[in-house]
A and B are shown apart, each in its own frame.
Chain A
Amino acid sequence: MSSRRWIITVFSIFFISMSLLATVNYTVDPFGIFGSNISQNKYQINDRFVKASYIEEYHNEYNAYMFGSSRIGVVEPKLLEKYIPNTKFYNFTVSSANLHDYLLHLKYFISKKYEIKVLYLQLDIDNMNDYNQDSTDYLNQLHPRVSGDSVALFYARYLFGFFPLNIRKKIEVSLSNEIKKPYNMKTGVWRLPKYEKALTEDAKSYIENEKSFHFKNRRVVFYTKKEEDKKALKEMVELCSEQGIKLYVFTTPHNQNMMDTFVLEDYREYLKDISEVTSFYDFSGYNSVTTNNENYYEMSHYRPHVGEWVAARIFNDKNIEIPKDFGKLIERGSLHGN
C-alpha cells in the first residue's frame, strides 16, 4: 500500500465518521441546541442554553427573574407577581445550578441591559460543595455568550460529540406518547403531572414506593466551596444594590433525607456566611415541611405548594396557612458563633 493511499484512507474514515456523527447530532439534537423539532418538549434539554437563548429574544416581556436549581422549577411566576405589583417574572430554573450560574447569568443580563426589577434567589445547601460545572456535562453547559466562550467551539462540541446514550434515549422518548416532564418555555416552569397525580390519589403508597425517601444517607456534603460561594454571593448582592434590583434570598427547604447528607457544622457555617453578606429567609433544617415526605416528589424536589408556602412566608401572606416552624428571616450579620 502506498503512503498516499494510506493517508487518504485514514482521513476518509475520519471525514465519513464525523459527517455521520454531525448529521445524527444535528437531527436528533439530544440537548436541544440546534432547535430540531424532534420531541423538543419530551426530553431533557440544556436548559442553560435554551433559556438564555429564549430570554435573549423575549427579554422585553419580563422584568423580574427567579434564579435557582431545578428545585425552584415548579414555582409559577404569577405567584410572585401577585405579591409584587408591576412585575413580570421568568422562572430561570436551570438543572444543578449553583452560585457560579447565578452570578454569570446576572452579570450577563445586566451587561445586555435587560430590565430587572426583582431577583428571587433560591440557594441550595448542597451549593456549598459545588461551584461551576463539569466541562464534560453537556446537559449543563452555559450559553457561550454567558460564559464568554467561543460560540463556534460551543456548537462544534455539540455537533461532533459522541452521545450514544442521550441519542438512544431521545429516540425512545420520541417514539413514546408520554411527556414525563413538560416544560413551559414562556414561564420557565416544569411539571411532573404523573407524579403529582399519584401523590394526590394515594400519597402513602407513593411514599412507600419512592426509594429515595428510604435510603439511610451518610453525611457527605462538606462546605468545600466557601471562598467561591461567599465571593459570588457578595458580588451578586453588590451588583443588585448598584443596579437597583430588589433581591430576595432564601434557602431551599430540603427534604429530611437530603438534610441528612449535609455535615452539620459545615451547614451552619454556610448559613453564617450567607448572613454575613445579606439577610435571607431560611427554610432549611428539620421542620414540619421538610420531615413530611408528602411535600416532595423524591428526596430532592419539593412540590409546587411548598413553593407557594415559601413565597407566602417571604411576603407575609396571612391568607395562606403555613406551618409555623417553616421559614425564618435571618437578618444580615445576626448569625454569630455557632
Chain B
Amino acid sequence: MLFNSYIFIFAFLPFTFIVYFYLNHKKAHNSSKIFLVASSLFFYAWWNVIYLPIILCSILFNYTFSNFFLRDNSKKPLLFLGILFNLSLLGFFKYYDFFVENINFIFSSHAELLDLALPLAISFFTFQQISYLVDSYRGEIKNQKFLDYALFVTFFPQLIAGPIVHHKEMMPQFADENRQKRDFKNITMGIFIFSLGLFKKVVIADSFAVWATHGFDIAEQLNLFAAWFTSLSYTFQLYFDFSGYTDMAIGVALLFNIKLPINFNSPYKAKDIQDFWRRWHMTLSRFLRDYIYIPLGGNRRGELLTYTNLMLTFVLGGLWHGAGWTFLFWGFLHGLALVIHRLWKSFGFRLYSWLAWFLTFNFINISWVFFRAKEWDDAIKVLGSMFSLDNMVLPKVLESKLEFLSSYGVDFGFFYWYMETIIWIPLAFLLVLFSKNSMEILDGFTLNYRTAIFTGILFTAGVVGLNRVSEFLYFNF
C-alpha cells in the first residue's frame, strides 16, 4: 500500500488510527499493539502476500537469536551465525542473480538466474534487525517483549522505506503507556507534516519524475540542455520523493505518538561531501557508521586504513541500494570523494563558500546519473551529452529571443519535452537552497488559522495529485 493512495489515506490510516486508540481507551494495551502489528503486516502484504512469510521468519529468527544473548552474551559464533542468516537472506533475494551474471560473464558459463522478485523492504528490515542482534550481543539490550520487537520491525510508517530506525529510539516509545493515549498536539503536527510530505511527493517529485524518466528512456537522443535538465530533474525527483516519503512516515507515526528520527536536513545545501552525508538519508549514514565503518576500525588505525574503511563503507552502501555495477560505482565515487575531502581538509585548503557548494552539488548531481541509469551505457550516454558541445538544441519558441546563440553553435528545434523544466528547476533550487526544510518548519509549528489553511491547501493539492499514483523510489532498495 502506498502512502500516496486513496486506500491508505481514506481507509487504512483512519481505520487503524481509530481502532488502535479505541483499544487503548478500553485499556486493552496488548490488543492495541497486536492490532498495530497485524495492520502493519496487512499493509506490507498488500503488494504481494508471498513476501509475508519472509518477514515473519526473519522476525522470529532474530528475536530468538537475540534472546540467546540476553542469557549469555559471550557466544560470538552465534552472533556470526545470526548476521550470516540475515545477510544470506538479503544476498539470496537481492544479490544472487547479480553474482551469477558476473560469474557467467567472467567464465563464459551459463548458470541459470533465479529472477526472484525482491521482497519489499528487505534491505531496511534486515539492517534494523542486524543492529538489534549486534546490540543484544554487546549486552546493550534488556529483556524485550516479542510484541514490542515485532512492532519495532513492522511498524508500518517506517517499514517500507525507513527511516532506518534504531531499537534504542523505538522500543522505549512502544513500551511507554503514556504514548498510547490520543494526543491532539501530535495529531495536528502529524497531519501537518504528512500533508507537507504528500505535497512534496505528489506535486513536486512526480512532476520531475515525468521528465527524468523520459530523459533516461531516450538517453542516446539527448542534447546538451536536455541531458542537464534530465539529470537535474532526477536529482530533484529523488530528493522530493524520498524526503516527501520520510515526512509522510514521520507524520503518520506522530498520529500514533511515535517520533521517528530525522532523515533529511537540507542535503543540497551541503558545501562538502561529508556535510552532504550528514544531511542525506541520515539514518542510513548512521547505520553505515555504527555497524560498518566503526567496526572496521573507523579512523583509529592510521590514515591509510581510514581511507580504506571509508571506501569500503561507501562501496557497500552503494551495493545496499541495488545489485548492479552502477550502484557499486556510485558508492565508489562517494567513497572517493570523501577520501579526497579528508585529504583536502588535512592540507588545510579552503574554498569560497559558493564554489564549495557548486562543486559539491554538481558532484552529487553527476553521481546520481549512475544511481539512476538502468545500464552502464545509459549513464555514459547521459553524461556524454551533458559534456558535449556538439549537440546544443533549444526549443524553437525561444529562437526569436535567443537567436544570437546560433553563432555559438546553438540550434533551435521543433518541440521539446523538457520545456516545463525551465521553470520547475529554478523553483526547485529556490526551495532546496533558500527555504526551511520540513523539520525546521515543524519546529516552528503553531496552531493558528495560517498553518491550518496552509495545511488544508497542501493536503488538498496532494490528494488531487493522487491521480497520478507512482511508487516511491526508495521502495526499490
Contact = CB atoms under 8 A, between A and B. Distances in A.
Contact of B460 (A7, A13, A161): A13
A9 B210 contact: no
Interface of B: 6, 184-185, 187-188, 191, 195, 210, 217-218, 220-221, 413-414, 447-449, 451-453, 455-457, 459-461, 463-470
B447 A215 contact: no
Given A1-B447, A6-B188, A215-B414, A21 B457 contact: no
A153 B220 CA distance: 37
16 contacts: A1-B447, A1-B448, A4-B184, A6-B188, A9-B453, A10-B195, A10-B452, A13-B453, A13-B457, A14-B460, A17-B460, A18-B463, A161-B467, A162-B464, A220-B221, A222-B220
B468 A3 contact: no
Interface SS majority for chain A? helix
A136 to B, nearest CB: 4
Nearest to A2: B447
B459 A14 contact: yes
Given A3-B185, A136-B468, A222 B221 contact: yes
A215 B459 CA distance: 44
Contacts of B195: 10
Nearest to A219: B221
Contacts of B451: 6
Contact of A6 (B413, B452, B470): B452
Contacts of A6: 188, 447-448, 451-452
A224 B456 contact: no
Contacts of A11: 456
Given A3-B184, A9-B452, A10-B191, 11 more contacts: A1-B448, A3-B185, A4-B184, A6-B447, A7-B188, A10-B459, A12-B456, A13-B457, A17-B460, A135-B470, A160-B463
Nearest to B213: A134
A12 B456 CA distance: 8
Nearest to A8: B452
Contacts of B184: 2-4, 7
A118 B339 CA distance: 68
A1 B449 contact: yes
A23 interface: no
Nearest to A217: B414
A157 B6 CA distance: 10
Which of A2, A17, A135, A224 has the most B CB atoms < 10 Å from its CB? A17
A251 to B, nearest CB: 23
A162 B466 CA distance: 10
User: Of B6, B184, B456, which is in contact with the most chain A CB atoms at under 10 Å from its CB?
Assistant: B456
Contacts of B455: 10
Contacts of B464: 18, 21, 160-162
Interface in A153-187: 153, 156-157, 160-162
A217 B393 CA distance: 13
B217 A224 contact: yes
A18 B463 CA distance: 9
Nearest to A215: B414
Most A CB contacts (10 A, CB to CB) among B217, B453, B460, B463 go to B460
Contacts of B187: 3, 7
A13 B452 contact: yes
Given A160-B467, A222-B221, A224-B217, A1 B459 contact: no
A277 B448 CA distance: 67
A17 B469 CA distance: 20
